[in-house]
Amino acid sequence: MTQTIPDFDYQRVAVGDVVLNVAVGGSGSPVVLLHGFPQTHLMWRHVAADLARDHTVIVPDLRGYGASDKPAGRDTSTYAKRTMAQDVVELARALGHETFALAGHDRGALVAIRAGLDHPDRITHLAVLDVLPTLDMWDVLQGADAAVAFHLYLMAQPPGLPERMIEASADDFFGFFLDAWGTGPDAIPAEVRAEYLRASREAVPSIVADYRASAGIDVEHDRADRAAGRRLTMPVTVLQQDWGAALGYDAAGLWSAWAADLEHRTLDAGHFMAEQSPGEVVAHLRALLAR
């Protein structure tokens, strides 16, 4: 790890069968921020610095990413979002927080949703940036429009071929998403982009295992929740690009089936909104925390 969030303290914290790299800053009520793909905890550097003025901000690398442990995907549970959500709950407890607000982007948002469903007594507020719940995500990807999510289908394949293909051109593969999903060449500074590429290059098997879980065990968990009528009970804010218009679905309608207390906002901020429009993201997070 060569890049850090200024004025944050770094620790390695054991949770379950992994040790997580985590940055902690500020003081006050706790907020945990979970990163997306193909990024690390650094994607929250602007938002974290702002929130740390009046909150204890906890910013880990997810298992399998960044400087956190990357266990082999021995079975489907290793990178299930249920397992990764348990990591987050245990991390907060290890740092002295029984309850906390939680925000996630992309892959981290899927972990955050699962944490909210599995641990409603621990998550006081939930923010989700630019994803749908896993079950809905697969349902809306249909026809030629699904080509935008080709990586989901590639990494859903059995172990072996996806890992070899990605490892053979890792920088091109991960760099494609950093470029295609950004709003311009300056959206992510060169030194941060290089850090994302290095971290992703060194984590291909675990990243693929994370995605593979989302095509299998994570769908099973979502289906069980839907059948049981389980919903998110804490205040929820969802910030998304207008994927509904692009892919032909009602994003707010899909989300309302999962969250009783929902604020759904469509932002013109690009996928990497926490880096490209941090002020707007912070404003929505602060509004959520005030609910």
Q: Which residues are catalytic?
A: 106, 271
φ, ψ for residue 125, nearest 5 deg: -145, 150
> Taking the CA of residue 202 as centre, how many other CA atoms within 13 Å lie in the half-sphere pointing to its CB?
15
182 by Cβ neighbours in 10 Å (0-12 / 13-18 / 19+) ranks as: middle
* Amino acid identity at 93: R
CA–CA distance, 37 with 33 (Å, rounded to integer): 14
Backbone dihedral region for residue 221 (phi beyond 0: left; psi -120 to 50: alpha; all else: beta):
alpha
Residue 277 has which token pair? 């429009």
Q: Is there a contact between 57 and 26 (Cβ–Cβ < 8 Å)? A: yes
Residues sharing a CB contact under 8 Å with residue 210, sequence separation 6 or more, in sequence order: 62, 64, 65, 79, 84, 107
- CA separation, residue 129 to residues 163, 275, 281, 291 (Å): 27, 12, 9, 18
258 by Cβ neighbours in 10 Å (0-12 / 13-18 / 19+) ranks as: buried
Judged by DSSP in three states, 221 sits in: helix
Nearest to 108 by CA among 128, 86, 124: 128
φ, ψ for residue 213, nearest 5 deg: -60, -35
